[in-house]
Structure formats: structure tokens, C-alpha cells
Amino acid sequence: MKLNVTAIALTTILFSCSQNKNTQNVTLEDEIDSTSFAIGVSVGENLNNQFDELDFELVNAGINSTKDTSNNFGISSMVAQGIIQRYMTKKQLEKQKEVDALKNIWFQDTLSIGDMFTTESGIKYQILVNGSGAKPTLNDQVETHYHGTLLDGTVFDSSIDRGETVSFPVSGVIPGWTEALQLMSVGSKWKLIIPSELAYGERGAGQMIPPNSDLIFIVELVSIK
């Protein structure tokens, strides 16, 4: 993973400076003031999302140390980059362990052999987990976990591999998904075999899904938004 330390330094400067101000007492007198404050808000939110464990008082002290050559705690940019790189690598490994654990649990019930049903449109589905929640409508937005492969097992997209659920409108996906989601109850997990005409048809999708490809999905309906 390549790390842009300069970008991180810039964002920390902007965020740490804003941390030391009482925002209720900030006066925005002109365009530069407003733009400066807006950048601080934007960068601060991003920085909090990336570095929620950090002590921003120490971040600010680190910034100040670059201006004060007499500061005994100052470190070179090269050493700083190494420290940040180790931290990011550690967090990445922790995230990967979480994803791997989720995948092991999530795929356990896909090994079961059950009845395969077929809808009038030609979608084949197998109920792996039968949920008891509500069923979404065409106008709803849903939160899902899914794993998509070609018939030969090639993975082309997987929220499980990323370790994050995905939300979208029921009407905003391929027709096969739109139909299947309205048949599923919240808490359900189904294996779907979607014929190409209800997926991406003759055009395919990018380099991963060739034209006229039937697709296999394992879909978990987590919630209705």
C-alpha cells in the first residue's frame, strides 16, 4: 500500500488547527475564511474516519515540532513516514482478519444442499436461510451482503470480500436482482442463478462479465432502509 505522507500531513494540519478552536467563536468574514473553514470541516471528517484512534492533541504537537527546531521530540519526515506506514499496515492486516472471519462464517450455510426453485422469468434460487422480516418493494432501498461469480466460479464482485455491506434501491440493479429481492424477507440468504437476459445480456459488464453470461449470486438481505 502506497502512502502519501504529504497529503496526510496537509490534512492533519488543517484538522488539528480546527480542533483547537471553539467553533462557536469562529467568525467567517470573507471568502477565504469561509473556504478555509469548509476545507477544515471536509478534511476533519475524512481524517476522523481514517484515524479514529489517534490523539489529535499529539497530532497538533507533531505539527508544531516541525516549526520549532529546539523541540527534542521532533522526528524526521522519513521516520514519520515509517511510523505511519507501520500503523496503516497493522490496521490493514486487522481489517483483513475481520473480513476472513466474516467470510468463513458467512459461507458456512452455502454448503447445504436444498431444493432449487425457478421463477416464471427463469431465475433459479435456493433458500439457504429463510428470514422472517418484511419483504422490500420496488420503491425501497435495501442493505445487502452478496458474492457474485460466473458459472465457472470466477468472482467478479463480492461485498463479503470487501467486508462491507452495500445499500442500493431495489429498482436500481439488474432485473434479476430486482425481482429476487422482492421475493426475499429480511434476514434471508438465497443462492441465485440469474440468466443473462435478466443480468447484463449481450453487452456484458466490463472485463469481468462476458456477453450472454448467466450469473450466480449468494445474496443476504440485511435490512430495508
* Residue 156 bears catalytic tag: yes
Consecutive H or E run containing 162: helix 159-162
| Choice among 15, 123, 146, 209 that is catalytic | 146
Tell me the one-letter amino acid at 224. I
- To the query of whether residue 217 is one of the catalytic residues in this protein, the response is yes
Tell me what the mean pLDDT of segment 93-118 comes to.
77
pLDDT band at 21, cuts 50/70/90?
A: very low
Greatest alpha-carbon span in the chain: 77
In contact, 186 and 133? CB cutoff 8 Å? yes
pLDDT greater than 60 at residue 19: no
C-alpha closest to that of 102 among 144, 156, 142, 159: 159
Q: What is the pLDDT of residue 180?
A: 97
* Residue 94: pLDDT band with limits 50, 70, 90: confident
Residue spans of beta strands (DSSP E) within the chain: 116-118, 124-129, 141-150, 155-158, 166-169, 189-194, 215-224
100 is catalytic: no
Q: Residues of 98-119 as b/e, b for ≥16 C-beta within 10 angstroms?
A: eeeeeeeebeeeeeeeeeeeee
Identify any residues that bridge with 143 across adjacent strands, giving them in sequence order.
Answer: 167, 223
Q: Cell triple for residue 103?
A: 467470510
CB contact at 8 A, 84 and 8: yes
* Total residue length of the chain: 225
Q: What are phi and psi of 39, to 5 degrees?
A: -65, -40
Helical axes 5-19 vs 77-106, angle rounded to 10°: 90
The catalytic position among 194, 200, 209, 218 is 200
10 Å CB burial of residue 181 (0-12, 13-18, 19+) is: buried
**Active-site residue flag, 157:** yes
**pLDDT, average across residues 43-57:** 73
pLDDT at 7 over 80: no
174 is catalytic: yes
pTM above 0.75, yes or no: no
Q: Which domains does the chain have, with CATH numbers?
A: 5-100 (no CATH), 109-224 (3.10.50.40)
Alpha-carbon gap, residue 112 to 110, rounded angstroms:
5
Q: Which of 174, 193, 216, 224 is catalytic?
A: 174
pLDDT band at 135; cut points 50, 70, 90: very high
pLDDT at residue 72, as a whole number: 61
Q: Note whether 26 and 37 are within 8 A (CB).
A: yes
